[in-house]
A and B are shown apart, each in its own frame.
Chain A
C-alpha cells in the first residue's frame, strides 16, 4: 500500500523531513491535550514516511548571495541515517508525550529537525546552520530540568559546542578560501598535524566534528550534560549529537588514520570512567563515548566494510542506547535518583523496566541474537582484516568492559544489590510503550539483520553468525560475567564524581577568576595606578594649566583688543552718518568714481 504524502499532493519529489519538525513543531504550543499528543506523533510519523518515499538525488538547491545552498543531498548514506533519526523521533516522542512543558517538546523537535538538516546538507554552510540549531535547541533539554546544577551544566554544554562550532566554521572558511567551493567534499586528514593551508582547513573541520563526537579530550561535555538533562531530554540527546558527528566524519573525513588511534583510546577511556561512575546516566554517557569510539575507529579505517560497520553500529546504537536511557530514566522518574549508591532491590517494584533495560544492555554488549552483535562485529572484523591487531584487541577489551557495566553493573545495582526498600512503580504507559518498541528493535535487528544490511551504503559481504565468531563473543562475555561476580566487592559505588578533561576549563576558570580578583586587581591598584598617575595624570594637568594660561592671556586678550578696535572704528564711522540723503548720495558717487578710477589705472 502506498502512503500518500504531502510531497505527492503538491507534486514535488523531495519533502525535507526537517520541515515537519521545525515548521510543524511551531504549532505544538497552540494545541492542547490529546490533540496535541496526536499531532506530535503524526508529525514524527510523517517525517519517517517522508524518508521512506524519498528518492536519491539532489534537491532543494537555493542561491544565497554568491553561494549555492543545498538542503537535500540524498544518497544511501544520508538516507540510512535519516531512517534511524526519524525512527528515533517516533520512539522519543512516544516516551516523552506525557511531558506538560511545550518548551521541552519544541526543543526536542528543533533538535531532531536540526540533525536531519545536517545529514541532508549538501554544502558546509547549510551543515553549519543546522549544526548550530542542534546545539542551541538541545541545551534547553538540559535547562528544562530546572535545577541549579543543570543550569550550570547547560551553560558548559553550550560553551563547548559554541567553541566547537567556531572551530568548524573557521575550517569551513579556510576551505572556502583555498578551494572557492563550499560544497561538502571528501577531505581526509592524513598525518598527525597540519602541514599546509588545505590541511589546516581539513584539520579544523575534523576538530569541529570530533567535539560533537565527544572524542577525548574534547568530549567531557557529554557525561556532564546528559546526566543533568531531563528524563526525556537525555533520551533524545543520547541519540542525535554524536551520531550526527559520526555521519559528518564518514562523509568528510573517512580514512583519516588519526581517527583509528583516537577511536580505540575513546572506546577504552569510556569504559574506564564507567567503572568509577556512581550516577547511572553518567555511566551510560561514558558508554556512549566508548561506543562512538568503535565508530570513530571504523571511520578512521575507512574501508567499505568498516564504513558499513560504522553505519550499522550507529543505527543499532541509537536504538539500544536510547532504550538504556529510557530504562534508567524511568528509574529516575519513579525514584527521584539515578545514583547507584542510593538504588537497589527494585526488581520487586519495577521488574518490567528491568527487562527492557537488560535487553538494551545485552544489545550494547553485542550478545548473539541482539542488535549490537550484527553491527559491532562488522567494524571489529574490518580491523582484523586489515591486520590492525592492536586496535582489534583494544576494541575487544572495551567490549568486555561494555558488558561489565551496562549488562551487569547497571542492572545489578539498580534492581538487585542492596534492597533499600524504595517505593517505586512502573512508569506511565507511554514510557513503557516506547521501551517495548525499543526492545523489539534490539532483538529484531539481532535476528533479522538483512533488511538493515540492505540499507547500508555499500554492498555487504559479511555474515555475523559464523560458529567461531559467535563462540568467541560468548566466551568473552560470559567470562566477563564470571569476573564481575568474583570482583563484585570492588564495584560498590561511592558517592563521588570523577575528574575529566573539563577539569581544565572548570578549574581553569576558577584560577582565571582568582587571577583577575587577586594579583591582577592589586597590580592594577598598586602599580598600574601609580604609574598612570605619574606618567599620564600629572603631565596632563601640567599641560592643562599651560592651556589655561594661553586661554586667558592670549586668546581672551586678542578678542578684547579686537573688540576695542571695532568700537573705535565705529565711532569714527559715526561721523559720516549725518542722516541727510544728499551726503549719502555724494559718498556713493565718490565710491563709484573711485572704483572706476581703480578700474582704469590698474590694468
Chain B
C-alpha cells in the first residue's frame, strides 16, 4: 500500500476529524466558525483537524474576506474505496475457491 494511502487512513482514523469531513460531505461548504459551533471542540482544534484533512487532499479551502470556507474533496477518497473493494473482491474469489474445494472434499 503506497504511503499516500497511509496518510489517508490516518487522517480519517480520528473520529472528530471524520465527523468534520462527513459534515462537509453532507452539507457542502462551511466556515470554520460554523463547523466549530456544531463539533463540540474548540476552534483551534477544528482548524488543526482541517489542516490534516487538507494535507491528505480531503478538503479544500477558499478565502473570502476574513472567512475561510472549507469543502470536501470526494475524489481523494478513491484510493481508500479502491482498496476496500479490491480486498473484498479478493476474499469473494477466495470464498468461491473454498466452496469449490468443499464440493470436492470427502465428508
Whether chain B is bound by chain A comes out as: no
B contact residues vs A (CB 8 Å cutoff): none
A contact residues vs B (CB 8 Å cutoff): none
